[in-house]
Amino acid sequence: MNLNLGISFNETIEKQVIANLRAFSPEGKTLSDDKLVKISSKSRILGAVGHTAGLPVFPNVRELANPEFVSQCDATILSRGMFVPLRRGNNRILLAVADPWDYRADDYCSLSYPNDIQLKVVTMASEISAIIEGVSNSSGPSQATLEAVEVDEFAEDNRDFDVTCNYEETIAQLVAGMVADAIKQRASDIHIKTEKTNFQYCFRIDGDLRQRVEMPLKLKDRVDAFLLNMMSLSPEERSKRPGISGRFTALYYGRSVGVRYERHRTYRGYHITMRLLDKTHLEARLGMGTLKFDKETLFQLEAAMAVPSGIIVMSGPTGSGKSTTLNAMLRELNHPEDNILTLENPVEDEIPGVTHCDLRDSSEFKPMISSFMRSDPNVILIGEVRDRESAELAIEAAITGHKVLTTIHTPRASLVIERFQQLGTERWKIAQTLKAACAQRLVKVLCHACRERTDGVSEHDTRLFHLDPSWISRPVYVHRDGGCHECKGTGYIGRSAILEILPISPKVGDELAKGDMTPYELEQRVRRDNKIPSMRESGLKLLAEGKTDLEALRKQLDMTYES
């Protein structure tokens, strides 16, 4: 069992932690271990760990850390043992640990500070990582470093690429600094672009592309060749294919970060996108953290997942968190008695007990699905429905009694059926097999350290976005221009998912199959019958709670559409 704290304990300790969690939980007597862990917050689970170890618990220790003192420690050792000495004084050292039973923290302090008394506290693994990363020196390559890079050859084996090492090869050092800085800044993607007279990179953070960093044009071919080498591809491949996909692993202070690589030709050279799949301390769970949906929305999603066969479709643009939500659903469906197979391009998040298959190119799709159907599956995840063949095979799998999860690109959940029809699927097939149509967006969350309170929404915006007049005088929060140190000058920290779900009952499916209902009528009827909020309503709820602002909402949702 995973306690969702970013580390693993042995079975004996895990049982003791769950026993303490059960003792301090009102609902503990009636729930199974898995269900109890699922509904418990990280702070409550951490409290049970501290009680088991007999140590005090501090969920937030960043403010206690002395950056100058922490920077003197070996970051690699701290990351491997998941501990950090916070401060030192009067022959005492305050030590934060994620695993109280890991001997490495005691050994390190005994050797480094033999005369000091250890005062140990338990905290989150994510807190320790944040402290270590906060004092690390990775801030991207400087302009002087970029200018000094020589166009030389490089090593042939860099598939596992430690981006915190110092490399003698200047191209390797340049790319390492770029990737390390992206991970430190919580970027989701790195973009490298070539133009007529410019060669540059930038990061996408919380959904927005940030400031571009210029690189000397002479480095264009060497950076390209180095990254192709990471995927064990020769530089000659760049002239043979219009698009190249691959992946490698970046090692960042002891943790592995998957990097998904995509390159395509452009008029002046190429454009590379590297998606950072940093899952080390993030295991998305339905109803928790980023995926803490509205109660009724979550209930309807769980009801659709409980149906033994049929298809659940998640829609939304690229980068809206569809795959993250589907993987969270797979974790809920992942039972020893079930056989779960996935077909993805590429595999982003491996789940123990689930068989993940990587689709190398589109020609493999049909034979892989045919093989899946002969492999006795209970649940099949298809990464994306993008053409007629994938749509038909997904529906066929659902018709033959399998539970299918997949994604598709539509602006609203109610348009899923129309999209399948456009791809050539007969309306009655999708209407009879569809159990839930979902749409998702990721909305930026305000930084609590610097968000600013305002008296209300302007009359212009109230009218433009069809808001109730009460919003004019209702206090709301907005992001501060320029942000603060905590949010690195953006005004936002992280994003929250907004999910809209339309459950399809047998009665509604029958009407859809006959063509008696338009997508808009479907949306209005299902929402009325089930009291499920739309994405707009969920967004306005976040606005009312002070978690986001109207500027962040309008970038992700059509606020002019009054549902």
pLDDT tens for residues 484-499? 888 878 899 888 999 9
Residue 137's pLDDT is 58
The answer to whether 354 and 343 have CB atoms below 8 angstroms apart is no
- Can you tell me the distance from the alpha carbon of 465 to that of 561, in angstroms, rounded to the nearest whole number? 8
**Domains in the chain: boundaries:** 11-134, 137-277, 289-556
* Domain 289-556 CATH assignment equals 3.40.50.2300: no
**Per-residue confidence (pLDDT) for residue 148, from 0 to 100:** 60
What does R_g of the chain's alpha carbons equal in angstroms? 25
User: What is the value of pTM for the model shown?
Assistant: 0.70
Average pLDDT value for residue range 452-468: 92
Quick one: pLDDT band at residue 562, thresholds 50, 70, 90?
Answer: low
**Do residues 304 and 435 make contact, with C-beta atoms less than 8 angstroms apart?**
yes
- 80-91 confidence digits (pLDDT tens): 788 999 999 888
Smallest Cα–Cα separation from 475: which of 549, 544, 537, 547?
544
Between 9-18, 36-45, 541-550, the lowest mean confidence (pLDDT) is in 36-45
Q: Would you call the peptide bond into 377 cis, given omega within 30 degrees of 0 as the criterion?
A: no
Say how far apart CA 10 and CA 477 lie, in whole Å. Answer: 44
Mean pLDDT of 71-78: 82
Q: Long-range contacts: 508-515, Cβ < 8 Å, 24+? A: 509/431, 509/432, 509/434, 510/431, 510/432, 512/417, 512/427, 512/431, 513/427, 513/428, 513/431, 513/432, 515/427
Does pLDDT of 239 surpass 80?
no
Q: Which of 226, 254, 299 is nearest to 532 (CA)?
A: 299
What fold, for 11-134? Answer: GMP Synthetase; Chain A, domain 3 (3.30.300)
Per-residue confidence band for 155, with pLDDT thresholds at 50, 70 and 90: very low
Of 81-85, 201-205, 372-376, the range with the lowest mean pLDDT is 372-376
Residue percentage of the chain with pLDDT more than 90: 31
Q: Considering only CA atoms, which of 147, 149, 179 is closest in space to residue 163?
A: 179
Reported confidence tier of residue 280, pLDDT bands at 50, 70, 90:
low
pLDDT at 192: 96
CB within 8 Å of 461: residues ≥ 6 apart: 467, 550
Sheet with 92-97, side-by-side order of all strands: 83-89, 92-97, 117-122
pLDDT band at 157 (very low <50, low <70, confident <90, very high): very low
The tens digit of pLDDT for each residue in 376-428 reads 888 999 888 888 888 888 888 888 888 999 999 888 888 888 899 889 888 88
Q: What is the pLDDT of residue 29?
A: 72
Q: Answer with the residue of higher pLDDT: 155 or 250.
A: 250
Q: How confident is the model at residue 158 (pLDDT cuts 50, 70, 90)?
A: very low
Average model confidence (pLDDT) for the chain?
85
The Cβ-side half-sphere exposure at 119, using a 13 Å CA radius, reads 11
At 392, give phi and psi (nearest 5°).
-65, -40
- Phi, psi (degrees; rounded to nearest 5) at 83: -145, 165
Token pair of 552, please? Answer: 């962040």
Asked if pLDDT for residue 238 goes beyond 90, the answer is no
- 110 to each of 68, 71, 106, 310, how far by Cα in Å? 20, 18, 6, 59
CATH code linked to domain 137-277: 3.30.450.90
Which residues on adjacent β-strands are paired with residue 160?
249
The label of the residue with tokens 């998912």 reads 497
Q: Which two tokens stand for residue 253?
A: 């202070």
Minimum mean pLDDT among 217-221, 238-242, 327-331: which range?
A: 238-242
Task: Note the pLDDT of residue 202.
Answer: 95
For residues 209-230, give the mean pLDDT: 90
Which carries the bigger pLDDT value, residue 282 or residue 143?
A: 143
Of 563 and 394, the one with more pLDDT = 394
What pLDDT does residue 526 have? 82
Average pLDDT over residues 88-100: 90
CA separation for the pair 132, 86 (Å, rounded): 10
Which segment, 65-74, 176-185, 523-532, is predicted with the most confidence on average? 176-185
Residue 154 has pLDDT above 50, yes or no: no
- Whole-angstrom distance, CA of residue 366 vs CA of residue 343: 11
Contact call for residues 95 and 120 (beta carbons, < 8 A): yes
Q: Annotate 493-502 with b (16+ C-beta within 10 A) or e (fewer).
A: bebbbbbbbb
What integer is the mean pLDDT of 506-535?
A: 83
Stretch among 153-157, 270-274, 552-556 having the lowest mean pLDDT = 153-157
pLDDT of residue 302: 92
- Evaluated on CA atoms 169, 172, 178, 180, the torsion sign reads negative
Average pLDDT for 451-456: 93
**Does the pLDDT at position 119 exceed 70?**
yes
Helices 295-306, 322-333: axis angle to 10 degrees equals 60
